[in-house]
Structure 1
Amino acid sequence: DMITLLMIFFIVMYVMSSINQAKFQALANSLNIALEGGTGIFSNVGPSMMDGQTAGVSAVSEAEMLAALQENLKQYLDQEGLSGTVSVNREERGLVISFQEMVLFQKAKNTLTPEAEEIVNKVGELLKDVPNYIRVEGHTCDLPINNAVFRSNWELSSARAITVVNEFIEHSGLEPERLSATAYSQYRPRVDNVSESNRILNRRVDIVVLSSKFAESEPTPLEADAEMEQEKTAVTETEPETPPEKQEPDPDKTYVP
């Protein structure tokens, strides 16, 4: 009757408002049995509610994890007297650790100094505490470079990013699958290149601990392998067949008709 239906409605609303999955599922099971529907109208409501709840919990957990990493990094940088040349900031894309050029490299070079190796290794050890993807970005100022090693700022910024990635892999023990190297040359400046003090800020290497939202754009190792396999297949299919070589008659042989 109407009173029973109203009672069921208010019970459902109460349980939903408390976001208690166990209570809601128990109620759904009872109603499904009572209505002899087995897996009735409530069978798909519980998981969808939990998906949203789980996503919220995951986002909070990641935020707390990155906040803890940021605090540990800042403590280390303060102890080493590097807080003036290395910054750690939260951005929408994740946690960004920005090294000024002088901390890691000599000018126009891509070889880490011995002191820089220790710094990168320590940072790499701290990065092992989180499971996120890590992108290493190389940046330069707008002053052109053209020497025997690097023909452009693209090559310099790329080489520096790769150097840091290799250091992470070889000495910090970070999994290669989590890492990527990106070069931006002079085209992602922090400030306008209007003075040497500004150019110093733009010559940098950024280590970005990507948030899960932005990491979705990063291809997984399996996806990358699949893409390479598809490219190989496409090339194979488009290659023209090589015609068989013509067989010339042997003049030393006599052919009898």
Structure 2
Amino acid sequence: MSKRGKKHKHEDHVDESWLLPYSDLLTLLVALFIVLYAMSEVDAKKFEALSEVFNEEFTSGTGIMENPSPVPEPDAKSLEEPEEKKEETSKEKDEKSLEEQMKERDKQELKELQAKINAYIKGKDLTAQLETSLTDEGLLVTIRDNVLFASGKADVREQDLQIAEEISQLLVINPPRNIIISGHTDNVPIRNSEFSSNWELSVMRAVNFMKILLENDQLDPQWFSAKGFGEFEPIASNDSDEGRSRNRRVEILILPRN
């Protein structure tokens, strides 16, 4: 009878004092994990945030059971996206905006220069021989070869020297821009003792025309270069006289500043 009574006797209350050091241990483990995570990227802002977390954990008196998340949600987010990163993003936007403004200003300058050259072309009644176009590469001025050169020749004709000199005045730009002079021909093989190919003819036409331009003391040679493409960059079909006439040309490409 006494043994059966002992079976129904309530067990003593379990001592739960171990929970406090256990919760503190878990808190320290979580803090250690945060430290290891932060050490992967040395960042003054993150150390400051971690310092605040430690202060809260060790001075608030709360355990891990009372506050399961040692880092409040806003603070955790700030660790992932530090303030410095936000500042860099803002800086990148400002730089991009500035770059766009510079491009727009540069494009406007080229438009004004194009209007100036177009006014010269119209005033000299040269619309059939000269034309301009604004492209992604810059401002392109196209000059037909019959304006400057005799057939199969690379020297600027005497009667066209004045036109070349006037064009040089139009190229006086402040501040200066890089300018490329290029020569082009049709695909008809050249037959003279001076040049063995259209490629050579196109190169010499570009160089000789550039020399005339640079006789203007206001132009700096370091901003100029010359190229020859022969018949390999046609702008029209070589199957007609009109097309071949368009392909025989000298081009002035005024580049953007950037």
Hey, what's the Cα distance between the residues in 2 that align with 1:128 and 1:179? 12
Does 2:222 align with 1:160?
no
Does 2:146 align with 1:102?
yes
CA contact (8 A) 2:169 2:216 kept: no
CA contact (8 A) 1:141 1:189 kept: yes
1:214-233 equivalence runs, <5 A:
none
Hey, what's the Cα distance between the residues in 2 that align with 1:172 and 1:94? 24
Q: Pick one of 89, 94, 104 that aligns with 1:50.
A: 94
Moved over 4 A (4+): none
Deviation at 1:211, TM superposition (A): 2.5
1:1-257 equivalence runs, <5 A:
41=84, 43-129=87-173, 131-171=176-216, 173-212=218-257
Identity in percent: 26
Rate the CA distance shift 1:72–1:182 in 2: closer, same or farther, 3 A.
same
Partner SS for 1:99: strand
Structure 1: runs of 5+ lacking an equivalent = 1-34, 214-257
Q: Specify the code of the residue in structure 2 equivalent to 1:113.
A: R
Hey, what's the Cα distance between the residues in 2 that align with 1:116 and 1:172? 19
Alignment: residue pair count: 180
Structure 2: runs of 5+ lacking an equivalent = 1-48, 50-81
TM value normalised by structure 2: 0.64
Show the counterpart of 1:226.
Answer: none
Partner SS for 2:168: helix
Task: Show CA shifts across 1:94-153 (max 9, x none).
Answer: 111000011111111111123322222222222222532111110000111132211110
Task: Show CA shifts across 1:53-90 (max 9, x none).
Answer: 11011111111000000000010011111011111111
Deviation at 1:154, TM superposition (A): 0.8
Larger radius of gyration: 2
TM value normalised by structure 1: 0.64
CA contact (8 A) 1:93 1:210 kept: yes
Show the counterpart of 2:16.
Answer: none
Deviation at 1:206, TM superposition (A): 0.6
Partner SS for 2:142: strand
Hey, what's the Cα distance between the residues in 2 that align with 1:72 and 1:133? 18
RMSD: 2.5
